[in-house]
Amino acid sequence: MTLTRPELETDYILSRSDIAHFAEHGFVKLKNVLSPETIAAYEPEITGKVIELNTQHLPLDERDTYGKAFLQVTNLWQDSERVLEFVSSPRLARIAAQLLGVQSVRLYHDQALYKESGGGVTPWHADQYYWPFATDRCVTVWVPLQETPMAMGPLSFAAGSHTFEHGRDLPISDESERVLQETLAEQEFAEVSEPFELGEVSYHLGWTFHHAPPNTTGIPRRVMTIIYVDAAMEISEPVNKNQEADLASWMPGNQPGETISSPLNPVLY
């Protein structure tokens, strides 16, 4: 038991305005969710696993847009007890349940998203394009493992776009960046693009459109994400190849029409 583990188990007090902001805008940024000490205790292990498990070995200039956006390594918790401690944090999971307005949340999966020095734009997209879920009660916590100034490529959100159905059929691509940049501006969804302090995290709904600028600094933007779903989430029939792959990868043994319940999806709160 480490000194930092208790913080991951204690409650974070959400204000009414935080919950209202999330409901209205489809995302919320929360300060001081994790202390610098807690981040320092887990960052080396997360970063070490990203380096060990990363399968992207092409130089940046030879990759496609998605490949240039970040190094993506998923379900680190299966490879490290230390990461499992972080990913199963009741503190982070309880915030997710409160924001979603549900009794209980499960883990969908985790993803480390490391934007290398010189890494490109993360195109506009909505995560739930990839997920075969019957409702919108799913949320991602985005946890930067360092202070994240604008030059490093922090997450930017289209406020209120979780209610906008146009563009939900677009995977992350040059096309999604172009089409959504245009249509979200036409609909006058304000783009909220701000730096993240150390210990500040964001939560966004599966259908909230978001993107990130390039990393023009000399150091990688290290971010850990955890995706939570309503523990009672029903799996929907996949509508694209990505959803078929996600069902097989993240909910092994589960079928459309069932409640998510695979061994990879434990209840976290």
Residue 268: inside a domain, yes or no?
A: no
Q: What's the domain range around 209?
A: 9-250
- The reply to whether 152 falls in a domain is yes
We report the CATH number of the domain holding residue 101 as 2.60.120.620
Residue 262 within a domain: no
Q: State the average pLDDT for the chain.
A: 96
Is 258 part of any domain?
no
Residue 81 lies in a domain: yes
pLDDT bin (cut points 50, 70, 90) of residue 69 is confident
Tell me the average pLDDT across 226-233.
98
Q: Domains in the chain: how many in total?
A: 1
265 falls within a domain: no
pLDDT grade, residue 1 (50/70/90)?
very low
Query: Would you say residue 1 lies in a domain?
Result: no
Task: Please give the Cα distance from 32 to 14 (Å, whole number).
Answer: 11
pLDDT at 230 over 60: yes
pLDDT at position 58 over 60: yes
Q: Which amino acid is at 87?
A: V
**In the predicted model, is pLDDT for residue 5 greater than 70?**
no
Tell me the whole-structure pTM to 2 decimals.
0.96
Residues 178-225 have pLDDT tens digits of 999 999 999 999 999 999 999 999 999 999 999 999 999 999 999 999
Helix-, strand-, coil-residue percentages of the chain, each rounded to 5: 35, 25, 40
Nearest CA-CA partner of 164 in 188, 194, 139: 188
As a whole number, mean pLDDT of residues 28-32 equals: 98
8 A C-beta contact, residue 159 and residue 189: yes
Condensed to tens digits (0 to 9), the pLDDT of residues 35-55 reads 999 999 999 999 999 999 999
**Is 160 within a domain?**
yes
Distance CA 14, CA 40 (A): 24
- By the 8 A CB rule, do 229 and 141 touch? no
Q: Which of 24-28, 58-62, 88-92, 149-153 has the lowest mean pLDDT?
A: 58-62
Q: Degrees (nearest 5) of the Cα angle 253, 53, 226?
A: 60
